[in-house]
Chains A and B, each alone.
Chain A
Amino acid sequence: MKSFTADVQLHSCLSPCGSLESSPGRIVQAARACGLDIIALTDHNTAANCPALATVVKRVGGLVAFYGVEVTTVEEIHVICLFGDVATAVSFGEFVRTYLPRLQNDPERFGDQPVVDAEEQIIYLDDAFLAGATSLSLDRVVGEAHARSGVVIASHIDRPINSLFSQLGVWPLGVQLDACDLSPRAKASAWRGQVPPGIPFIRSSDAHFLAEIGRQFTTLVLREPTFEEFCRALHGEDGRAVLCTEAAQPVAATM
């Protein structure tokens, strides 16, 4: 078993309010510079920039990427859905976007939403209202992601907006979430009692700007840095582990 540093919630320029500098190419550069082993791209309600990330990761090497979407459910809860391959993430993203409200993005308020290639060229500007909530229930999102062999992580559960607890008050019985994510300000011990045993905590940067990448991270103990191993670690299989620190710590500090 080996330890890997992972930051599995990153936003690119395609996310509303994401920095225009955050192209997949620059994200990979920044992630490598701060010493991350594993990253995941999770734009709001779309995975359209994942193909560019996959191209860059393949070209540059030295880093493993997972691909996903941060879905806004009908309850207005943010959940990170992750997949091991680009095609699955992209098709899941296309599925999710059909449940967005039929509104157009207002670039003045939310910024442009460029879909780019590996060379940082804009392919097109997405005019969907990616900042909106889908009409998909939490249960449905979890079911659809699991049906595609993905995992679902409740985002920033400590935050007063768009979190599982802000929207639902208490842990929802019967929902098959794979992990819970803590924002930098949260102490893990303060939330342990709110979440059923066996559901691991992770820390991710939720970076909307390049400088935020790796501002906190999760250590994964895996046989090898693959998505299958990550899934097994989330379920604590055979010595694999997900290690979340009590307080936030930047990945660069561990080097």
Chain B
Amino acid sequence: MKLSTIVQELRLTPLVELHEQEVTDAYASDLLSDVVGHAHAGTLLITIQVHRNVVAVASLVGLSAVVIAQGRQPEEDVLAAARENQVNLLSAPSSAFTLAGRLYQLGLRAPGE
């Protein structure tokens, strides 16, 4: 599924300029060690983790996008890192639970499911 489709359907707010990506699956976690262990290239991550390592891990794993739930706002240095590393960073006022439910309705599944 195209990232732009998801952005439209869920009315996500881009926090940086987006680069179109194919979203293969989705994962929800706030522990970045867990993300490294279970997500892979193409995974969309839903999280409330706004430490700048969310960008480092997204870049390392090759996540298609990171959606910050619950309206949390990352600091400017996190946004700068996302721009520099071309990481698609978005936000939504909804909870991680609701976002995951809506992505599931759109047909996305967790990695390996």
A-side interface residues toward B, CB under 8 Å? 75, 137-138, 160, 165-170, 172-174
The smallest beta-carbon distance between A171 and chain B, in angstroms, is 9
**Pairs A-B, 7 closest by C-beta atoms:** A169-B32, A168-B53, A169-B57, A169-B36, A169-B33, A166-B33, A172-B53
Number of interface residues of B (CB under 8 A): 12
Q: Which residues of B contact A75 (CB under 8 A)?
A: 49, 51
Complex formed: what's the CA distance from A172 to B56 in Å?
8
Q: List 27 A-B contacts (CB under 8 A).
A: A75-B51, A137-B51, A138-B51, A160-B33, A165-B33, A166-B31, A166-B33, A167-B31, A167-B33, A167-B49, A168-B32, A168-B53, A169-B31, A169-B32, A169-B33, A169-B35, A169-B36, A169-B53, A169-B56, A170-B53, A170-B57, A170-B60, A172-B51, A172-B52, A172-B56, A173-B56, A174-B52
Complex formed: what's the CA distance from A75 to B52 in Å?
11
Q: Which residues of B contact A166 (CB under 8 A)?
A: 31, 33
Contacts A137-B51, A138-B51, A172-B51 given; does A167 touch B56 at CB 8 Å: no
Q: Which residues of A contact B53 (CB under 8 A)?
A: 168-170, 172
Complex formed: what's the CA distance from A138 to B60 in Å?
21
Q: Considering the complex, which residues of chain B in the window 15-56 have a beta carbon less than 8 Å from any beta carbon of chain A?
A: 31-33, 35-36, 49, 51-53, 56
Complex formed: what's the CA distance from A85 to B36 in Å?
40
Complex formed: what's the CA distance from A160 to B31 in Å?
10
The smallest beta-carbon distance between A76 and chain B, in angstroms, is 8
B48-91: CB near A (< 8 Å → 1, else 0) gives 01011100110010000000000000000000000000000000
Q: Chain A CB within 10 Å — which of B36, B51, B52, B56 has the most? A: B51
Q: Which residues of B contact A137 (CB under 8 A)?
A: 51
Q: Which residues of B contact A168 (CB under 8 A)?
A: 32-33, 51, 53
Q: Which residues of B contact A165 (CB under 8 A)?
A: 33
Other than A167-B31, A167-B33, A170-B56, give 17 A-B pairs with Cβ distance below 8 A.
A75-B49, A166-B33, A168-B32, A169-B31, A169-B32, A169-B35, A169-B53, A169-B56, A169-B60, A170-B32, A170-B53, A170-B60, A172-B52, A172-B56, A173-B52, A173-B56, A174-B52
